Structure 1
Amino acid sequence: MGTGVVHGEPEPTALVDQQHCMFCHMHDAPFLAPSFQQIAERYRDMPNASRMLEQKLRLGGKAHWGDMAMPAAVERGGPLSAEDAHTLVQWVLSQ
């Protein structure tokens, strides 16, 4: 299972591995992209943030943090269902 520090929901390890999240993100420090904790702090209480983040996970999107854009799921590890995107976003926002 995952070894990261989890403050809320359990890590969906299979999805994190399939989508190669850790290639760019870390739990608590910026790497090539913002940390999961930074994302949670920015978006946790923002209305409609979950939907925006789920869409970004599935389709990719422009950079909101620095210069690196989020690649689409098919470029990261394969198609991502709406349900799996929701699971990942809820986990990130629980950090």
Structure 2
Amino acid sequence: MILVAVATPAIAQTEPTELINRQHCMFCHTVDAPFLAPSFHQIAERYRKEPHAADVLARKLRLGGRAHWGDTPMPPPSERGGPLSARDAHTLVDWVLSQ
């Protein structure tokens, strides 16, 4: 018997609209075009295949952080819409990486 590994594309997940709105993600990001920050498609393209990207990006959502795309840093949650749980951060990151 011969087994063949087949790469499966990421399955787009349902948009977590309430979280996106609560965290004001669209103030800086769009789905498919750079604005004040990279698009969600650009983020997915850059990080989708990185093994620890989901954890790194979730941490950045929860704490804020320095700029990796131009000059605009990720603001802390206190400037975006309030605290973000680890679960909610991973929900957002998983959705972005599925783009």
CA distance in 2, matches of 1:92, 1:73: 18
Aligned-CA RMSD value: 0.8
Displacement of 1:74: 1.7
Alignment equivalent of 2:56, drawn from 32, 52, 58:
52
Displacement of 1:66: 0.3
The structure number with the bigger radius of gyration is: 2
SS of the residue 1:63 aligns to: coil
Q: TM-score, normalised by structure 2?
A: 0.88
Counterpart of 1:40, as a letter, is A
Number of residues of Structure 1 aligned to a counterpart in Structure 2: 89
Alignment equivalent of 2:38, drawn from 25, 34, 51:
34
Percent identical residues: 70
CA distance in 1, matches of 2:57, 2:76: 12
Q: TM-score, normalised by structure 1?
A: 0.92
Displacement of 1:73: 1.2
Give the aligned partner of residue 90 of structure 1: 94
1:46-89: per-residue Cα shift (whole Å, max 9, x none)? 01010000000010000000000000112100100000000000
Counterpart of 1:88, as a letter, is L
Contact 1:28 1:38 in 2 (8 A): yes
Alignment equivalent of 2:83, drawn from 79, 85, 92:
79
1:22 aligns with 2:32: no
Contact 1:73 1:79 in 2 (8 A): yes
Counterpart of 1:74, as a letter, is S
Which runs of structure 1 show a deviation greater than 3 angstroms over 4 or more consecutive aligned residues? Answer: none
* Contiguous gaps of at least 5 residues in structure 2: 1-10
Contact 1:74 1:80 in 2 (8 A): no
